């Protein structure tokens, strides 16, 4: 009688990538998650594939010397992400590779867009750069680009750029309903990408708004998005359900860094059972209507699913 099901094939494992070799850095706010270099990423991705995870998503850790106002490192075809994509495609061609399109890991000010004279975000100028960034990723072998910047009109622009260069087979997963959330705090620590002035509320959504999410999703769908995403996850299950009812597109949810950190912090205090809490979160996403889940807890969930299947866990 169980309605929702969760398997490895529902999960997208998310990684933070470092330059160099054999490098591993722990992340204090995210126990069990590390920043890793490309050689180690390949080992992890092989395991993911073996466990049945169909896709991984990558975020770059960019050193401070490489960041500038315009985020120009985002367009470097020899940058960390293009290098990682080429290596992964060679080693594990069947694994679906997803990469963010946004400038914040690369900008000195931490914003997702280019900045004007009055510290305003330059929406349309940013779209031009995002189109170029998507093309660099496509040329490096990405399967799915995931614009996470929330500029208006970027989906249509990126689609046009990709199609114009014969990359019509590269899909767009739009971070369509992305809220200006306190739960991204660990992410910004991991990437040293905290904003140096202002906040992201002029482009990310107000947590008070629900209808606006439906509008954002409808616009991105019209512009040519192949898949939509709601982010963060647990505090926005109502949005996930409403978007599910509005669209026929595949729908993703992102269980973000802060959601991972909250469960781990409580678990480390002995206040709740980590495995059960992660399982419950992920099955809740499926119940609410998600087709797939971007998560830092993919391996933990899979290990627990195995326990359930084997009868070790009396569920
Ligand atoms: C960048 C981006 C962010 C996240 C994904 N892409 C942070 C932000 O918008 O500030 C957050 C992911 C997470 O916290 O897990 N645009």
Q: Verify whether residue 178 is a known catalytic residue.
A: yes
d(CA 46, CA 300): 16
Pocket test for ligand 1, best of 12, 81, 102 (most atoms within 8 A of CB): 102
Structural domains in the chain, CATH included, are 8-310 (3.20.20.70)
Residue 104, ligand 1, Cβ within 6 A: yes
Task: Kindly report, residue by residue over 237-251, the tens digit of the pLDDT.
Answer: 999 999 999 999 999
Instruction: Record the pTM.
Output: 0.97
* Distance from residue 188's CA to the centre of ligand 1 (Å): 7
Residue 148 has pLDDT above 80, yes or no: yes
* Ligand 1 centre distance from Cα of residue 307 (Å): 32
Identify whether the C-beta of residue 107 lies closer than 8 Å to the C-beta of residue 67: yes
pLDDT band at 315 (very low <50, low <70, confident <90, very high): low
Task: Using the structure block, give the residue that is written with the tokens 């920043």.
Answer: 35
Q: Is the CB of 187 under 6 A from ligand 1?
A: yes
Taking 80 as the threshold, does the pLDDT of residue 257 lie above it? yes
DSSP 282-304: HHHHHHHT-SEEEES-HHHHHHH
Asked if residue 313 has pLDDT above 90, the reply is: no
Q: What is the average pLDDT value for the chain, to the nearest integer?
A: 97
Q: Return d(Cα 3, Cα 301) in angstroms, integer.
A: 18
Round to whole Å and give the CA distance between 186 and 16: 12
d(CA 314, CA 308): 7
pLDDT at 63 over 90: yes
Q: Does the Cβ of 102 fall within 6 Å of ligand 1?
A: yes
**Among the options 90, 132, 160, 178, which is catalytic?**
178
Q: CA–CA separation, 181 vs 254, rounded Å?
A: 12
| Predicted confidence (pLDDT) at residue 312 exceeds the cutoff of 90 | no
Closest by alpha carbon to 290, among 259, 255, 260?
255
Residue 132, burial from CB neighbour count under 10 angstroms (0-12, 13-18, 19+): middle
Kindly tell me if the per-residue pLDDT of 258 is higher than 60: yes
- Residue in this structure with the two tokens 């009109």, named with its chain if needed: 153
User: What pLDDT is recorded for position 314?
Assistant: 62
Q: Is 103 in the pocket of ligand 1 (CB under 6 A)?
A: no
* 231 given a catalytic annotation: yes
Among 46, 47, 196, 231, which one carries the catalytic annotation? Answer: 231
**For residue range 10-42, what is the model confidence (pLDDT) as tens digits?**
999 999 999 999 999 999 999 999 999 999 999
Which residue CA neighbors atom 8 of ligand 1 most closely? 184
pLDDT in the model for residue 199: 95
Express each pLDDT in 107-118 by its tens digit.
999 999 999 999
Query: Residue 227, Cβ neighbours under 10 Å: how many?
Result: 21
């Amino acid at each position: 009688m169980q309605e929702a099901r969760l398997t490895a094939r529902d999960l997208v494992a998310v990684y933070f990538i470092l330059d160099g070799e054999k490098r591993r850095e722990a992340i204090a706010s995210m126990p069990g998650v590390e920043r890793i270099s490309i050689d180690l990423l390949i080992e992890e991705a092989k395991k993911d594939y073996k466990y049945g995870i169909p896709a991984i998503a990558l975020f770059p850790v960019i050193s401070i010397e490489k960041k500038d106002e315009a985020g120009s490192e985002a367009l470097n075809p020899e940058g960390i992400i293009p290098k990682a994509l080429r290596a992964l495609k060679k080693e594990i061609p069947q694994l679906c590779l997803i990469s963010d399109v946004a400038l914040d890991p690369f900008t000195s000010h931490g914003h997702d867009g280019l900045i004007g004279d009055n510290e305003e975000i330059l929406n349309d100028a940013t779209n031009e750069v995002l189109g170029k960034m998507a093309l660099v990723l496509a040329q490096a072998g990405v399967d799915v680009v995931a614009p996470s910047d929330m500029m208006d009109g970027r989906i249509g622009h990126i689609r046009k750029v990709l199609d114009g260069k014969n990359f019509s087979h590269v899909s767009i997963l739009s971070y369509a309903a992305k809220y200006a959330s306190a739960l991204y705090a660990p992410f910004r620590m991991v990437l040293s990408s905290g904003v140096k002035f202002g906040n992201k509320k002029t482009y990310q959504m107000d947590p008070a708004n629900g209808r606006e999410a439906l509008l954002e999703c409808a616009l991105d769908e019209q512009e040519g998005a192949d898949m939509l995403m709601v982010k963060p996850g647990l505090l926005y299950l109502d949005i996930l359900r409403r978007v599910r009812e509005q669209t026929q597109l595949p729908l993703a949810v992102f269980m973000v860094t802060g959601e991972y950190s909250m469960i781990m912090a409580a678990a480390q205090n002995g206040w709740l059972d980590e495995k059960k809490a992660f399982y419950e979160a992920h099955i809740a996403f499926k119940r609410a209507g998600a087709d797939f889940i971007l998560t830092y807890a993919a391996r933990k969930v899979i290990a627990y699913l195995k326990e359930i299947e084997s009868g070790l866990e009396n569920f």
